Structure 1
Amino acid sequence: MKHSKPLLFFVFFLFTLAAISQTAVVRGVILDENKQPIENVNIKSNTGEGTITNKNGFYEIRIPSDKDIIIVFTHVAHKRVEQTFNLKNGSEIEYNPVLKINVEQIAEVVINKNTSQSRTGVTTISPKVIRTIKGAQPGVENILKTLPGVNVSNELSTQYSVRGGNFDENLVYVNEIEVYRPFLIRSGNQEGLSFVNTDLVSNVDFSAGGFQARYGDKLSSVLDITYKKPSKFGVSADLSLLGGSLAVETASKNGKFSTISGVRYRDNSLVLNSLETNGNVEPVFADVQTYLTYRFTDKFHLNFLGNISLNQYNFRPENRQTNFGTVDEPVALLVFYEGQEQTEYQTYFGAFKANYFLNDKTTLKLIGSAYHATEQEYFDILAQYRLGEVNTNIGDEDLGEVEFSEGIGSQFTRARNDLDALIFNLEHRGDYNIDDDSNLEWSVKYTREDIRDRLVESEVIDSAGFSIRPPSVTQTNFQPEVPFDGPLTAFQNIRAFNEVQINRLQAFLQYKKNAKIGEHDAYYNIGVRAHSWAVNGEGIESNSQTVFSPRAQFAIKPNWDKDMLFRVAGGLYYQPPFYRELRDSSGVVQPKVKAQKSFHVVVGNEYSFKLWDRPFKLVTEAYYKGLSDVNPYTLENVRIRYRANNDAKAYAYGLDMRLNGEFVPGTESWFSFGYLKTEENINDRGYISRPTDQRLKFGILFQDYVPNMPDLKMYLNLVYNTGLPGGSPSYADPYDFQFRLRDYRRADLGILYEIVNPEKSYNAKWKASFTNLSLGFEIYNMFNNQNAITNTWVRDVNSQRQFAIPNFLTPRVFNVRLSARL
């Protein structure tokens, strides 16, 4: 059932007359050694743009984006300064050099104050923070979980939910190329590595809602990653008890060809062996990524992004004991296992992106990509359990063991699931700078999805010697009083084979403008998306649908003494169904599933100020989502099973706040708070909590160093989330199971010593060869909190009670890390 190996390399020829230009803005104030502004400093770029500073030392220059631009600062009484910039389209940064007379130039100050991102409600995360702040699952997602509105309650997973959405409602782009996640994944243990390799990252933008029409059709968030375009050779490495990574940067002498490549290896044995379930576990994850850029001319650039990922998870469980209940009535579940699980995911991804810069106002992009995934999930697990009271007598030899069994039984689960997915994309993007203050952007994209899926799952439950029949079987069993002569029926038995093809055509048109309202700066962005798709396949009734998604943003920066910015964004957002949303709980594809729809409005404020003579920013956002044609689902760890219908409506509203700045001089830290309420109404039965209804969230990312020893640094990554809904058994009515898991509390601490850093010079030759070298240790789950992610449901055949047995996450774990860069 496998596809032939896909062609991952394309050659594109561009024949277009009109397209777009991309520009960015550099502005700032030029000062002398006495911090006084310098007038008439000449500023000129190597592409011909130029300006001079005014009497206040202020300047502003617009330069082409997405390529290296050299800006030269000269003044008759001061030393010449050169600086290279490579900025994203629409970026605005402050660069404030300090000029010195007749001596060597002192270091410049660059303030990351991207006003363009502030206007659009985008959070920009420093790549340095991402590479410094590690965790049990290091990467961009480890930082996202500290942001307001983003909830992650499983440190073994890179999945995250945003403002009441689920894991499937988040867009991820790398250099404008959409990337995909695994399909079959049901447990964070098996998930492996995040697609985004932090060693290759140069910029991270994140939007939690109200995003522009230029981004695709999802309901919750956008993670927009930009990979580096190196200008010189460099090597970086990271080693720890959980694995390692290696990245290499190269650039040709003429600057036309650059590469950045990374290899990662991850072994989660250290954290998985600390779980309650004992056994032999072999989780091995590895991937290779590369991003290549070749500048044929100043007008034509060609880029390639490639990724190969191999993930294997082999597990032979042996036993488990989970203590739960209350202090007065402690209960324990003791399980003995036989069997094993073998899970494997292999993904291959390749994309070409061609840029043609027609002139200062126009550029054309053509993007083609192919994604091929082969996934398998095989397991045969026999679990024999005892459920009973726990000995709590201190001093007894049997303290903590099960003394009296309320229920004895067994459960046999089996799966033979295979999936083969092949996805092609071809997209044209462009934008046109009407003038310095307005821009028009558009795109047309075609997608072909070919999915082949075999789903074979069964479950047999036995309690006290009697096989429990599924609720759908109405034949009464009066054992032991009356012998039962009916056929034995598996409690759950799913068998399906699907071959599905989905063709999609997407397009957007977007206009943005910087304007003045009196003395106040204003920003407008309006756009519309169209998405048409058709579902076909063997034994499937063909079906096609089309939706339109209008979106808008407005921001105003008043001419006040206080640095304030106000913004509002909203629109009608659709999420056309992907394959997993078309497949119901029995494995059958329902081609008539509609796109989920959400009316979304976000109101925000940013207040920038100085405290202790250091910069700070307070960001506040209130939001509301009204959802219709909702496709209800159940959530098992990170596995989502849809009902594959649109018989629900829902809402979500909340408040997010984030205060970030230099709480410690020279470091960036932030404190986050979020309130969320999201409920759904299925078949007009009344509103109940959605699986992602996580009411309160607190997040802290804090960095510090020892004042007398600044090379000794620390970070604290702390998250507190109130408990998620506890879910329900797969066969049960969710309206009957409305209780919550315990609160999620986690603190990860890292302490490192910088043996070498770029701000110092060293006499020792071995030190001089390094740009960075650091050694440290990390404590994951520092306070050893018992966090639960889901429940295991056990039925007592005598009382017919169902016990929700919490599945606990990792306890305290220690790790050692060595990082280096040449």
Structure 2
Amino acid sequence: MLVIAQPTIHIFLEHKIQTLLKTINKVITLALFLCTTVLFAQKSPVLYGVLLDERNVPIEGVNVYYDLPSGRVNATTDRTGFYQITIPVDTPVDVYFEHISFKISSIQNVQMGYNDTFEFNSFMLTGSETLKGVVITSNTGRRRVEGITSISPETIRKIPGANAGVENIIKLLGGNSNNELSTQYAVRGGNYDENLVYVEDIEIYRPFLIRSGQQEGLSFTNTAMVENVEFSAGGFQARYGDKLSSVLDITYRRPKEFGAELEASFLGGSLTLESISKNKKWSGIVGARYRDNSLLVNSRETETNFRPTFADIQTMVNFKPSDKWELSFLGNISQNKYYFEPLTRQTNFGTIDEPIALQIFYEGEERDEYETYFGAFKSTYEVSENFTFKVIGSIYHTQEQEHFDILAQYALGEVDTNIGSDTFGDIQSARGVGSQLNHGRNDLDALIINAEVKGFHDIEKHRIEWGVKYTREDIRDRLVEWEVIDSAGFSLPAPVIDRPINDQPYNPYTGPLTPYQNVRATNFAEVNRFSGYAQWSKRAKLGNSDIWMNAGVRAHQWQVNVEGGSSGKSQVTISPRAQFTIKPNWNKDMLFRLSGGLYHQPPFYRELRDSLGVVRPNVKAQQSIHIVLANDYSFKLWERPFKLVSEAYYKKLDNVNTYTLENVRIRYRANNDAVAYAYGLDVRMNGEFVPGTESWVTFGYLKTEENYRDRGYIARPTDQRLKFGILFQDYVPNIPSLKMYLNLVYNTGLPGGSPSYADPYEFQSRLNDYRRADAGFAYVFTDGSKVYDKGHWLALFKELSVGLEIFNLFDNQNAITNTWVRDVYTKTQYGIPNFLTTRVFSIKLNAAI
């Protein structure tokens, strides 16, 4: 809590009275201490943190001190910029940070209580800076109280992964994903459409038509521009929007000086530039990225002529006419091209005793393109010290096409396992032969406009937040997909239409020739939405314990209009939410948090469109009663800081809109005819396992099932029971410039899905477990901690490193979906796993000036 010190007579007298009372209290406390046994030892409060320079480089040797009548108390930062200093109990002091290369900085009026610890990280600038007075009572910042995980941008940038970035870390902390080619993630039983993503308070959307992680292109978030990342896996406050699962809240960096950052590898690269005007009123940052996934996708089992390329340019410009007013513009243009010409494929599966293979020869190609344009303005005005007002407007426009004609001629049979045979590894006797022709001409044009106002009020110990938002969605969509299947020379008719009995080849089939699948729809839909929220927060005392309370409510009204069809009715949802956090007055830095409420997810366009492409305008909002019980424990191990967070959760879902999941494409039934539940436990620990570095260990258990029309509970498509992950950083002791980064994941298998038009209740098999390790090795020539002579070739760089990345280090075969092939003799349908990437090597260069 920030408090500006105002030396008035009233405060002076009040301070004297408080000092007298404290003196009396100390005498009584001393007498009690001499007469009784203390059950819990009280510790002096501690202020600690990391000090960096303007280039984010740790500063060693900073003198941290404050003065008392009895003398000066000192501490010094180590080579990692870390400091720790004890603070006198309930006594305001001014803490100073002094270094020979920087002018003095300070924080004034620091006041802390028994057993309190507070982490204060700051930059030391070339000019002096005095921060406002602060009253600190515990190491319970806003993120910790609200159950929000904060992730260092440096960690995000360095941890290796096939899709490195913010989502690469989220998948391990609170989300699940068994697809390294996708940036999408599922959180606690939800799907990809149930996650909120904000950048600078602005909601971000993902493409509509993507069906494979190979196609979706770059994540919106440019990691090189990020300053702060916050993530909540559930039980979030009313100020966040109407989704069921999670919130990812990202803040971009405000430049303090000119800088440039380059990243290049065999998968592409990025260039980021930033600067600030001389009068400090204008600042801007721009980033351009290019990605070529050929290295990854060409390592798969399907031989292709394939070069998916993705590019975008993103910028944020800030203008501060005064200290109280800031104007910002955020813009993004992206173009994703996906050209795919498959040639052959052979997938071996089955058992050692009965090896089976699927061999396919392809003709045709797929051409997909996604172009998105995004622009947003934000105005933040500090009306007074206790009132801040924001106005936000954004426009999102996407044009997407998905065109394909692919003929696959396949043979399914037993594999020749005789090593001495000329046909070793080939199919020896075919169980099923046939062909499959897939055709698609899908086009979508979507325009989404948002206008929003927000207010923040601090009234004594209370905080009031509110917001009102209008959204207009204009969707123009054409869906044309059909599939023809030939098995052993006989065309298979669609399984869902009334037709004569087909018992070929014994009797001729006299019914109409129809595709096995045929989806055709044209939709012009408009959705108007009004939403708003109000919430209250307060910090107080319960005995000797600190407590934090938050209560709020969201409201959402929407109506769907379909051109040429019936318009939907107006619908309204009310979502109350609350949080309660307590930090007991223990000698351990521990808090407990209970949060939850009634969460609603009004349907977005994908949820309105059923499996046949028809828009159902009266689809209801899915709703969830969500409860989260958490424990947050900060402690020291090996004299280094660590944190252990445990969260148990339960969700009861109604009006569930069931769906099928094919790679990353979701197809809804759009009928709200199911109920579901999810429960589980997430545990994560992070800290300095290796001095000077931060690492994470996570474990999760989840069970989620749904009941469709009272047929009984079956696993939902995201039912991933166990999850284990490690993010680890290390360096060679004798060569500290040689760094190592490890990203290790183990997830149990997801449900394997079912063939098109099949009853999912009859297909409840699972894919194999997902096991993957990505490793990175980098030699750091300079990280800015060492000053070179002006003529030295490294003097130009703030950072320079070259490294080797190994994706899928142990070459595990992981599958994302099944291809279903019919055995013409037994009428059995085999689930043939679609494997993901194999082991891949890449070189990576990072440079910053």
Q: Same fold by TM (over 0.5)?
A: yes
SS at match of 1:189: coil
Partner of 1:438: 462
Partner of 1:138: 164
Q: 1:759 to 1:84 in 2, by over 3 A?
A: farther
Partner of 2:441: 416
Q: 1:470 aligns with which of 488, 494, 504?
A: 494
Task: Describe how 1:443-458 pairs up with structure 2 within 5 A.
Answer: 443-458=467-482
Q: 1:381 aligns with which of 388, 406, 410?
A: 406
Q: 1:81 aligns with which of 104, 109, 123?
A: 104
Deviations, residues 671-730 of structure 1 (Å, cap 9, x unaligned): 100000000000000000000000000000010000111110001100000000011012
Task: Describe how 1:56-205 pairs up with structure 2 within 5 A.
Answer: 56=88, 73=96, 81-82=104-105, 94-95=119-120, 115-147=141-173, 149-205=174-230
SS at match of 1:129: helix
Shift of 1:456: 0.2
Q: Which shifted more, 467-476 or 597-606?
A: 467-476
Q: Is the 8 A contact 2:49 2:119 kept in 1?
A: no
What is the rounded CA distance, in whole Å, between the counterparts of 1:327 and 1:749 in structure 2?
Answer: 31
Which amino acid in 1 is paired with 2:298?
Answer: N
Q: 1:530 aligns with which of 536, 555, 561?
A: 555
Shift of 1:765: 2.6
SS at match of 2:155: helix
Q: Which shifted more, 387-396 or 217-226?
A: 387-396
Shift of 1:479: 2.2
Q: 1:216 to 1:820 in 2, by over 3 A?
A: same
What is the rounded CA distance, in whole Å, between the counterparts of 1:98 and 1:340 in structure 2?
Answer: 54
Task: Describe how 1:491-510 pairs up with structure 2 within 5 A.
Answer: 491-510=516-535
Partner of 1:426: 451
Q: 1:78 to 1:417 in 2, by over 3 A?
A: closer
Which amino acid in 2 is paired with 1:440?
Answer: I
Partner of 2:33: none
Q: Is the 8 A contact 1:37 1:56 kept in 2?
A: no
Q: 2:47 aligns with which of 28, 35, 55?
A: 28
**1:791 is aligned to 2:830:** no
Shift of 1:30: 11
Q: Which runs of 5+ in 1 are unaligned?
A: 1-20, 43-52, 62-70, 86-91, 100-111
**1:699 is aligned to 2:728:** no
Deviations, residues 314-335 of structure 1 (Å, cap 9, x unaligned): 0110000000011111100000
What is the rounded CA distance, in whole Å, between the counterparts of 1:24 and 1:371 in structure 2?
Answer: 41
Q: 1:295 to 1:210 in 2, by over 3 A?
A: same
Deviations, residues 515-546 of structure 1 (Å, cap 9, x unaligned): 11111111011000000001002123222100
What is the rounded CA distance, in whole Å, between the counterparts of 2:4 and 2:596 in structure 1?
Answer: 26
Q: Is the 8 A contact 1:407 1:797 kept in 2?
A: yes
Partner of 1:89: none
Q: Is the 8 A contact 2:327 2:377 kept in 1?
A: yes
Shift of 1:60: 7.8
What is the rounded CA distance, in whole Å, between the counterparts of 1:198 and 1:444 in structure 2?
Answer: 30
What is the rounded CA distance, in whole Å, between the counterparts of 1:644 and 1:30 in structure 2?
Answer: 51
SS at match of 1:145: helix
Shift of 1:760: 1.1
Task: Describe how 1:266-665 pairs up with structure 2 within 5 A.
Answer: 266-435=291-460, 437-473=461-497, 474-542=499-567, 543-665=569-691
Q: Is the 8 A contact 1:393 1:399 kept in 2?
A: yes
Partner of 2:39: none
Shift of 1:481: 2.3
What is the rounded CA distance, in whole Å, between the counterparts of 1:30 and 1:692 in structure 2?
Answer: 39
Q: Is the 8 A contact 2:500 2:510 kept in 1?
A: no
Q: Is the 8 A contact 1:201 1:228 kept in 2?
A: yes
Q: 1:97 to 1:742 in 2, by over 3 A?
A: closer
SS at match of 1:292: strand
Q: Is the 8 A contact 1:421 1:452 kept in 2?
A: yes
Task: Describe how 1:810-821 pairs up with structure 2 within 5 A.
Answer: 810-821=837-848
Deviations, residues 760-782 of structure 1 (Å, cap 9, x unaligned): 12235320110000000010000
Q: How many residues align?
A: 763
Partner of 2:794: 767
Deviations, residues 724-747 of structure 1 (Å, cap 9, x unaligned): 001101210000001100000000
Shift of 1:98: 13
Q: 1:172 to 1:98 in 2, by over 3 A?
A: closer
Q: 1:55 to 1:561 in 2, by over 3 A?
A: closer
Partner of 1:809: 836
Q: Is the 8 A contact 1:672 1:699 kept in 2?
A: yes
Partner of 1:261: 286
Shift of 1:454: 0.1
Q: Is the 8 A contact 1:650 1:678 kept in 2?
A: yes
SS at match of 1:358: strand
In terms of Rg, which structure is larger? 2
Which amino acid in 2 is paired with 1:774?
Answer: S
What is the rounded CA distance, in whole Å, between the counterparts of 2:91 and 2:153 in structure 1?
Answer: 27
Shift of 1:54: 9.8
Which amino acid in 1 is paired with 2:483?
Answer: E
Q: 2:762 aligns with which of 733, 736, 753?
A: 736
Partner of 2:242: 217
Partner of 2:753: 727
Deviations, residues 24-54 of structure 1 (Å, cap 9, x unaligned): 9999369999988643899xxxxxxxxxx99
Q: Is the 8 A contact 1:72 1:80 kept in 2?
A: no
Q: Is the 8 A contact 2:256 2:275 kept in 1?
A: yes
Q: Which runs of 5+ in 2 are unaligned?
A: 6-44, 51-60, 74-84, 109-116, 125-137
What is the rounded CA distance, in whole Å, between the counterparts of 2:196 and 2:719 in structure 1?
Answer: 20
Q: 1:446 to 1:816 in 2, by over 3 A?
A: same
TM-score normalised over the length of structure 1: 0.89
Q: 1:650 to 1:557 in 2, by over 3 A?
A: same
What is the rounded CA distance, in whole Å, between the counterparts of 1:126 and 1:630 in structure 2?
Answer: 36
Q: Is the 8 A contact 1:33 1:98 kept in 2?
A: no
Shift of 1:631: 0.2
Which amino acid in 2 is paired with 1:464?
Answer: A
SS at match of 1:288: strand
TM-score normalised over the length of structure 2: 0.87
Q: Is the 8 A contact 1:146 1:717 kept in 2?
A: no
Shift of 1:487: 2.2
Q: 1:305 to 1:74 in 2, by over 3 A?
A: closer
Q: 1:196 to 1:80 in 2, by over 3 A?
A: closer
Shift of 1:299: 2.0
